[in-house]
Copies of this chain bind each other. A is one copy, B any other.
Amino acid sequence: MYSYEKLLKFTEQIFIKMGCPAAQAKSGAEVLLSADLRGVDSHGVARLSGYVRLWESKRINATPKVRIVHETPSTAVVDGDSGLGLVVAPIAMKIAIEKAKNVGTGWVSVKGSNHYGIAGYHAMMALEHDMIGISMTNASPLVAPTFSLDRMLGTNPIAVAIPADKQPAFVADFATTTAANGKLEILQRKGTDAPMGWIQDKNGSQTPNPHELKNGGALLPLGGDRDHGSHKGYCLGSIVDIFSAVLSGANYGPWVPPFVSFLPMPANPVGEGIGHFFGAMRIDAFRPAEEFKLHIDNWISTFRNANAIEGEKVQIPGDYERNESIKRINEGIFLLPPVENDLKELSEKFNIIF
C-alpha cells in the first residue's frame, strides 16, 4: 500500500525532471493521481511510464504555450502545444468556466494535446462554481464501429458532473465502449476471459480472449452488437471524436496518435495531437442554483431508494468512485507488482527516491 501523498509527490517530481514548470507538474500530478484515488487504476500511476515514453519520443512538450487560437463569448479553441493532456485539460476547462461566468455557458475544443487522465476530474472542476461540467476526449484507435473490421475510434469517454445540495454530486464518467481498455488490460495480465460482447477478433467475431485486441481485433462500442444497440455506442464515440477533434483541428478517427505502445503512429496526420471537448453550464443561467440543487437531492435520493434486485442496490453515478477515494485516502493505494516495477524503474532512471 502506498499513501496518496507519496505517489503524488513522486509523480510531481517525475514531471519536474521531464522539464515541466513546477505549477504544471503539481497540477498534472494531481490529475493523474485522481484516477488512483477514484478506483480507476488503469488511468493513474500505472500510466506514468507511458507518459515518460511519449516525452522521450518527443511527442510531449514539457513547456507548452497553451493558448486560445479562436473564440467567441461562449466558445474557444485551445492549442495545447503538444503539452501533457494532464496539464492542458484543466487550463481549457478553466476557460470554459470563465466563459460560463460571463454568458451562461462555455464550450472549449482542444487540439494539440495528449492523454488527459480521467475525464471526470475535469468535469468536476465546474462543481464548486455551481456549474454543470462536461468533459470528453478522443483516444487511441482501438474500437470497431458496428460491422467494421477496422479499428476507427477510441474508447472516447464522456464525463458529466452535476452539483447537488446535501447529497454528493452526480458524477458520470464512462467509456463509450462496452468496457474500457483498462479493464481489458487487467484481464490480459490475469489471463482470464472477458465476457462476450467486449471484443471481436480480426475476423469480426466476438471472442472472450482479451489478447485478440493486439492480434488485429477490436474493442466493441457500448451495446456490443447490433441487436443490443452497438450502433448507439458507435454514435456516442463518433460524437466525442468530432466535438473533440474536428471542431478543434486535432487528429480524429484512425489518425489519433496512440497512447498504447503496440500501435504505430498513423501516417499523414489530419490535425494536431489528440482532441478534447469541455463544457461548463452555470446552473443559475437556467434557474436559481439552490432550487436546482434541492431537486437534484430529491432526484438522487429517489433513485438511490428505488426497489432493487435482491442483494444489490441502485447506485448513483459517482458513488463507487467517491467511496474508493475515501477508502484510499485512509488506507492507501494498492499497486500491482508490474506497476510497482514500472515506478521503480522510473525512480532509477530519474534518480528520485520511490
Contact = CB atoms under 8 A, between A and B. Distances in A.
Nearest to A174: B232
28 contacts: A72-B103, A72-B104, A74-B74, A74-B103, A74-B104, A74-B105, A74-B285, A77-B286, A109-B286, A145-B314, A147-B313, A160-B235, A172-B236, A176-B232, A198-B228, A204-B309, A222-B222, A222-B233, A223-B223, A228-B228, A236-B236, A238-B303, A241-B299, A242-B296, A249-B287, A254-B302, A270-B295, A270-B298
A75 interface: yes
Nearest to A176: B232
B74 A238 contact: no
A121 interface: no
Contacts of A203: 309
Interface of A: 70, 72-75, 77, 103-105, 107, 109, 132, 145-150, 152, 160, 162, 170, 172, 174-179, 195, 197-198, 203-204, 222-224, 227-229, 231-236, 238-239, 241-243, 246-249, 252-254, 270-271, 281-283, 285-287, 292, 295-296, 298-299, 302-303, 306-309, 312-315, 317
A15 to B, nearest CB: 30
A70 B70 CA distance: 29
Most buried by B among A231, A242, A283: A242
A246 B296 contact: yes
Given A204-B309, A287-B247, A179 B229 contact: yes
A179 B178 CA distance: 16
Given A146-B314, A204-B308, A224-B224, 14 more contacts: A72-B285, A74-B104, A77-B286, A107-B281, A109-B286, A132-B243, A148-B303, A149-B308, A160-B235, A203-B309, A231-B315, A238-B317, A253-B302, A270-B298
B73 A73 contact: yes
Contacts of A302: 152, 253-254
Given A146-B315, A149-B309, A247-B292, A286 B70 contact: yes
A172 B246 contact: no
A75 B281 contact: yes
Given A103-B103, A109-B286, A242-B170, A306 B72 contact: no
Contact of A149 (B150, B178, B307): B307
B75 A105 contact: yes
A12 to B, nearest CB: 32
Given A72-B285, A109-B286, A292-B246, A223 B178 contact: yes
A228 B195 CA distance: 8
A107 B109 contact: no
Given A222-B222, A315-B146, A317-B235, A248 B287 contact: yes
